Amino acid sequence: MWKKPWPIIVSSILCFAGLVIVFVTPIVLKSLVFYNSILRPESRVYNLWKHFPVRVSVDFYFFNWTNPEDIYSKGVKPRFAEVGPYTYMVDLGKTDIVWNDNNTVTFRPIKYYYYSEDKSNGDLQDRITCPNPVSIAAAHVSRNWNYVVRRGLSLTLSGIAPTVNISRTIDELLFTGYPDTLTKMAKTFPFFAGTEIPPWERFGWFYKRNGTSDLEGIYNTGTGINSIFAKIYKWNYWSKSPYYEGTCADIDGSTGEKFDQDSLGDRIKIFSMELCRAVVLQYVGDVDVDGISGRKYQLDDYMLDNGTKYPETKCSCSGDCLPYGVFNISRCRYGSPAFGSLPHFHKAEPYFNSLVEGLHPEKEKHDFYIVVEPYTGFTLQARARLQINLLLHSIPGVTIYENVPTAFLPIMWFDHRIDVPDSELFMLKQILNVRWISTTIGVVMMVAGLLLVLYFIMKQRRRNVRMKETLQNKVVLKRPEEKKLLSEK
């Protein structure tokens, strides 16, 4: 037995304190993360959510059609040359915020685009040649009409839009828009009765999108209280998208700001109003973002499939299944034959690039991915890259489209880049460092306590051995004296 109990007391305290630090600190930190991830007007995350503290950038690349005069020449493919980027800095915000009784919040996203001349490779007044989106859309919509009615449309197009191509400035094609006679007159044409027509008289790919919230839609998302923060429950009051069928119609996924860390698996979903559906991303590995480890998810074969590899993705075809790599968004775009893909048909079947010339897919430049910090669920980095394509195909009865080749014509692609602000990155590092440091300290304390006990056990054993040896030596010395006394007697 030890004469003094303090070694046991000290080692017990170290082991107990270490256990508390190792097991209790993560619980406390997770509670703090959860508490600070609840969206409410007085919370810290609210200001970050309502107005992103830094401007993000988006690059627009357009495809200049260099040989439109050869569109009716057999064996000659449409040829394109990429121009850009035309870079904009974007303020991200939310407006018309309504707090609901079911612990969700309803709002409209709003974006302000500011052209960055220094970061752009070109000028907004650059003029390019591209397919005529309004004319192609009108002809495509008429493909199932009565032949006589199609001839009526043919005469109309011959008078106001006699060519498959148009020439416009980048500014007109993006936000300013350009006046289009067919768009203006469509409502007066009897053959467009019953057809959904855009409610404006100008056309631009992002017309009415700068500084307004009208076209972004109305989002209903969770606040973190009896709901999942940033998870979309409804869009435009729909829980099912009217543009798709089956599970593809589910209004599902995150806004992209944060994900439920407890359900981070092989796939995550981000809802895209550009596609009117959720974008599915697949886990591809862990990466480092400014010293923080995150899970990287890419737009990959599941999202790019049309029922070939994954039968459940057939619902994304919208009645027109295509080879792997391109997804149909025509119903989401007023019936226009619009199709989404990765830039330059990256990861798509060679079929699509075989129909045109001038496209060169590159993995590093054209991947769509997002990096999520798994402990908090917050997004560390995002590179949203998508390309808009128009399907050109023969339409009997519409003269200018009767003899055109079948091709998916690339129009433009954008690269939307989002990175966590330095201030938020610093705080995230502190949370993760405290978690790592506390775990390390706890383990060190437990090991120190166990080593201290082991040290005193060994020390006590050595002391016991020495005491035993001393007693034995005394006995050995005493026996000869006893013999001498007995002999004298």
Beta bridge partners of 185: none
- Pick from 402, 420, 438: which residue ends a domain? 420
Q: Is residue 101 located within the same domain as residue 11? A: no
Within this chain, do residues 21 and 138 fall inside the same structural domain, yes or no? no
Q: Looking at the structure, tell me whether residues 375 and 467 fall in a common domain.
A: no
Q: In this structure, is residue 23 part of a structural domain?
A: yes
Counting the structural domains of the chain, the total is 2
Q: Residue 436 — very low, low, confident or very high, per pLDDT cuts 50/70/90?
A: low
- Residue 485: is its pLDDT beyond 50? no
The residue type at 114: Y
Q: Residue 420: pLDDT band by 50, 70, 90 thresholds?
A: confident
- Note whether residue 437 is domain-resident: no
Distances (CA, A) of 107 to 97, 134, 407: 4, 31, 39
Average pLDDT over residues 46-50: 88
Q: Is residue 164 part of a domain?
A: yes
Claim to verify: residue 211 and residue 137 sit in the same structural domain: yes
Identify whether residues 129 and 215 lie together within a single domain: yes
Q: Do 59 and 30 have their domain in common?
A: no
**Shared domain check, 410 and 482:** no
Range of the domain at 116: 55-420
Q: Are residues 34 and 68 in the same domain?
A: no
Mean pLDDT of 11-23: 63
Confidence check: pLDDT of 81 > 90 = yes
- Per the domain annotation, does 127 fall within a domain? yes
Looking at the structure, tell me whether residues 307 and 214 fall in a common domain.
yes
pLDDT tens track for 276-298: 889 999 999 999 988 888 999 99
Q: Which residue has the tokens 């010293």?
A: 291
Q: Which residues pair with 204 in a beta bridge?
A: none
In the predicted structure, residue 264 carries a pLDDT above the cut 50:
yes
The pair of structure tokens assigned to 480 is 């000869």
Residue 424 CB burial class (10 angstroms; 0-12, 13-18, ≥19): middle
Burial readout 208-220 (b: 16 or more C-beta within 10 A, e: otherwise)? ebbeebeebbbbb
pLDDT at 28 over 80: no
Give backbone dihedrals phi and psi of 391, rounded to 5 degrees, phi first: -85, 120
| Angle formed by the axes of helices 422-488 and 6-36, nearest 10° | 170
Q: What pLDDT is stored for residue 90 in this prediction?
A: 95
Domain end: 420, 436, 456, which one?
420
3-state secondary structure of 12: helix
In a domain, 432, yes or no: no
Among 59, 70, 173, 69, residue whose Cα is nearest residue 127:
173
Within a domain: 430: no
Do residues 165 and 35 share a domain? no
Using the predicted structure, report yes or no on whether residue 475 has a pLDDT greater than 70.
no
Domain assignment present for residue 429? The answer is no
Lowest mean pLDDT among 10-19, 99-108, 333-342: 10-19
Percent of the chain whose pLDDT exceeds 90: 43
Q: Look at residue 442 and tell me whether its pLDDT is greater than 70.
A: no
The per-residue pLDDT for 339 is 93
pLDDT tens digit sequence for 209-256: 898 888 888 999 999 888 888 999 999 999 998 888 888 889 988 998
Res 181: pLDDT: 82
Backbone conformation region of residue 286, classed left if phi is above 0, alpha if psi is from -120 to 50, else beta: beta
For the stretch 305-331, pLDDT in tens is 888 888 888 888 877 788 889 988 888
What would the pLDDT profile of 161-218 be if each residue is shown by its tens digit? 889 999 999 999 999 999 888 777 766 665 555 566 666 778 899 998 898 888 888 9
- Whether 320 and 461 share a structural domain: no
pLDDT level of residue 77 (50, 70, 90 thresholds) = very high
Do 62 and 24 lie in one domain? The reply is no
**Higher model confidence: residue 427 or residue 343?**
343
Q: Residue 472: inside a domain, yes or no?
A: yes
pLDDT at 183: 75
Lowest mean pLDDT of 34-48, 183-197, 328-342, 450-464, name the range. Answer: 183-197
The string of DSSP codes covering 252-287 is -SB-SSB--GGG--SEEEEEETTTTEEEEEEEEEEE
Q: Is the pLDDT of residue 358 over 90?
A: yes
